[in-house]
Amino acid sequence: MIRYLSLLAIASLILSAQSKKVITIGISPEDTRELSAAAGNRARVVAVAADKVLTEIADADAVVSFRLTREQVQAAKKLQWIQNPFAGVEQLVAIPEIRDSAITLTNAKIIAGPNIADHAFAMLLALTRQLVRTIPLQGRQDWNGARAMPRIELNGRTAVVIGVGGIGMQIAQRAHAFGMRVIGVDPKDIPMILFLDRVVKPDRIEDVLPLADVVFMAAPHTPQTGNLLDSRRFRLMKQGSYFIAVSRGRTYSAEALVEALDSKRLAGAGIDVVDPEPLPADSPLWRFENVVITPHIATQSDKLAARTLDLMKDNLRRFLNGEPLVNVVDKQRGY
């Protein structure tokens, strides 16, 4: 009898664990299988087609997806956790049932930092080393056409990094390695770090913009960072400086950027993010030869998918074990 009761208790625990339901939306079948293997017999991981979300989310404990509608969240009666496989969460925190609830939201900030920082410096170097003008000369077998172009050395220059999070910290690290003085702008209290000369709060941004030889925009889009760099702030930037944007297009004014380029205030710009996206064909930004435009591809990397999957599997195990999750988003701040 005692043995029977013990087996019954064990069976009950197993069934209780298996009662957890995790759904994936827009996640590859391979990643869903990996998540299912990580969950083992402690949860069911179910890939859900877009037209089945309303039904399947009703009894889901967790969701892995980068996009949900308000209607879908309202239908989720048991939802405790949302894992966004990307860094940006503005669409999710705009939903009151997520933002103002006890649902834990996690994202993929930090893990995309290395590739985005590489991309930011690729754009900057294309401008400072005049590669943007030199490479097209290859097609004409022109050896001498690029010799007279001015080239800028980064050593000893000043970089201002707006947003010292997972992306901005990696940019700061690279800037320091190039011999640059690095000033961060961030609302958080950042500890003393070798590759950051200092960090100022956003209300002091206008004190440091005039010091910058290059400004990197690495801040997430929030109500506080929307249009953070407007015409007045672009005019504060040093004559002949550079602007590099790799986070969100809504953090700066495209019209103000065009104005700064037209007036020759800026020596050049590299933009991977714009608003709206795609960049309209009639945007004046297309006509500048000192502007490098890439179609929101800075996140792409041969190593990113593996890092993202590792993060999601780790968080899934933590969720099932009742442990603290990593990359928890402050839903009120939006990052």
- Is-catalytic flag, 90? no
For helices 29-39 and 304-321, angle between their N-to-C axes, nearest 10 degrees: 30
Q: pLDDT value at position 160?
A: 99
| Marked catalytic residue, from 42, 119, 233, 248 | 248
Q: Which residues have CB under 8 Å from 153's CB, separation 6+?
A: 128
| pLDDT, mean of residues 143-157 | 95
- Cα–Cα dist 265/276, whole Å: 24
Write down the domain spans for the chain: 2-109+303-321, 113-293
| Marked catalytic residue, from 296, 307, 317, 318 | 296
| pLDDT, mean of residues 178-192 | 96
Query: Whose CA is closest to 220, among 67, 316, 92?
Result: 92
Q: pLDDT value at position 145?
A: 92
Residue 9: pLDDT band with limits 50, 70, 90? very low
Q: pLDDT value at position 19?
A: 79
pTM above 0.85, yes or no: yes
Q: Helix, strand or coil for residue 217? A: strand
Q: What percent of the chain has pLDDT over 90?
A: 93
Q: What is the pLDDT of residues 197-211, one digit of tens each?
A: 999 999 999 999 999
- Is-catalytic flag, 206? no
321 has a pLDDT exceeding 80 = yes
Q: Do domains 2-109+303-321 and 113-293 have the same CATH topology?
A: yes
- Is-catalytic flag, 277? yes
Phi, psi of 252 (to 5 degrees): -140, 160
Q: Name the CATH superfamily housing domain 113-293.
A: NAD(P)-binding Rossmann-like Domain (3.40.50.720)
Domain 2-109+303-321, CATH class in plain words = alpha beta
Q: What is the pLDDT of residues 213-272, one digit of tens each?
A: 999 999 999 999 999 999 999 999 999 999 999 999 999 999 999 999 999 999 999 999
Q: What is the pLDDT of residues 100-114, one digit of tens each?
A: 999 999 999 889 999
Query: Whose CA is closest to 84, among 102, 62, 101?
Result: 62
Q: Helix, strand or coil for residue 152? A: coil
133 has a pLDDT exceeding 50 = yes
240 within 8 A of 270, measured Cβ to Cβ: no
| Marked catalytic residue, from 33, 277, 323, 333 | 277
